[in-house]
Amino acid sequence: MTDRRQAHLIGDWVLALVLTVFAQLDLRFNVEQADHYGSEPLRALTTAVATAVLGLRRRAPVATAACVALATAGPQLFTTLTVQLWGDFVPLLIATYSAARYAGGRRVVAGVLVPGAAMTVDWLLVPSVHTTPNLPIMFLPYLFCIAAGRIVRRQVHGHEAARALARRLEDEREESIRAAISEERGRLARELHDIVAHCVSVMVVQAGAAEDLLDRDPDAARAPLRSVQDTGRQAITELSRMLGLLRGAAGGPALRPQPGTADLADLATHMNEIGLPVTVSATGAVRPLSPGVELTIYRVVQEALTNTLKHAGPAQARVLLHYAESEVTVEVLDDGHGATGAGTGHGLVGMRERVGLYGGTLSAAPEPIGGFAVRASLPLTEPPAHADAAPKT
């Protein structure tokens, strides 16, 4: 913006210089074939002032208009001087436009009236100008410059206001997304904490069972010890995912397993009871999943069905769970008509955060044949630990 403003100021001084040269050449060689009156040196001086001061037309539009008016019409009150196109009329029009374009508040009134008064003085006091045909020739362009300046000013200010509003809305949207991500990560951290706490509880129970068997049946103690090892590895995996999410979440841990795929039937029953018919089906080789993946699938289905209930109008929904060799895919499809697109709402932000945490992908978009579809794919292999600290958004 500073570079642009500097370029405009340089352009103003170039305009002033060019106009000054033209006016002086016109005065010297009488290109217009105008009637000459009064002192030529005085006319050259006033013309130079009227044209050179235009370099300040943006910085001080009202003062510029006043200087141009005084230079072109002030001496006419005491003596008759030559009135020319480049040295009088054009500077007055430029000063009028500049005042209308750049002056604000009540100052604009003085900025446009002073050049008009100067034109009136010239028309009344200079014999070669004082003719009836010169009235429209002088004052119609003058009125046009006032109108053009005000219109351009309103348009520019309107564009600036629109850009400022767009920037503010974009900042608010980004802040809303950041808040949604922060809130969702805090909730994820608490839920993952619950999973790890559950794993630790299982390890404590299995370790206690192994201790009881060590003296009576050492071989039988191997099974609970192996269970402790497996559960410990699982807890370490979940803790590594938590490292990038913990934000000092308040509240104590709830030592209970979080919902998973086995609870989707209960979720469907609940949705049916509140007015959204839902069917759940599974294909492929059904197998146990890690608690985090189980919870992610459940939350994605829960959020998608909630969005269908809120936005799709009268509709039915299907939940399809497919187990492949390397990934598990869940689809939530509805046949409604009012569901929103794949925007940046808080629910979709949360779903993407959950799925991205486990190295998966999520899409949410209207179906070509109608309705809305949410699809999430989660790999069954564990993502690298270094990737967990920065989940995909």
Instruction: Tell how strand 317-323 and strand 278-284 pair up.
Output: parallel
Nearest Cα to Cα of residue 350 among 174, 181, 191: 181
CA distance 349 to 222: 44
CA distance 222 to 211: 10
How confident is the prediction along the chain (393 residues), in pLDDT tens digits per residue? 567 778 888 888 999 999 999 888 888 887 777 777 888 889 899 999 999 999 999 989 999 999 999 999 999 888 888 888 888 899 999 999 999 999 888 889 989 999 999 999 989 998 888 888 888 988 999 999 999 999 998 898 888 888 888 888 888 888 888 887 777 777 666 666 556 655 676 677 667 777 777 777 777 777 777 777 777 776 776 666 556 555 444 444 444 456 888 889 988 888 887 778 999 999 988 888 888 888 889 888 988 888 887 777 778 899 999 999 889 999 999 888 755 444 445 667 778 887 888 889 999 888 888 888 999 999 987 544 444 433 333
Which pLDDT score is estimated for 340? 47
Residue type, 122: D
What residues contact residue 134 under an 8 Å CB cut-off, 6+ apart?
123
CA distance 97 to 148: 7
Which pLDDT score is estimated for 345? 54
- Which residue in the block uniquely carries the two structure tokens 């292999």? 381
CA distance 296 to 376: 10
Which pLDDT score is estimated for 207? 78
C-beta separation of 298 from 263 below 8 A: yes
Which pLDDT score is estimated for 223? 76
Beta bridge partners of 343: none
Which pLDDT score is estimated for 256? 46
Which pLDDT score is estimated for 240? 65
Whether pTM > 0.75 for this model: the answer is no
Residue type, 239: L
**Cα dihedral value 321, 393, 271, 315, nearest 10:** -90
CA distance 292 to 363: 20
Residue type, 193: H
Which pLDDT score is estimated for 257? 57
CA distance 92 to 69: 7
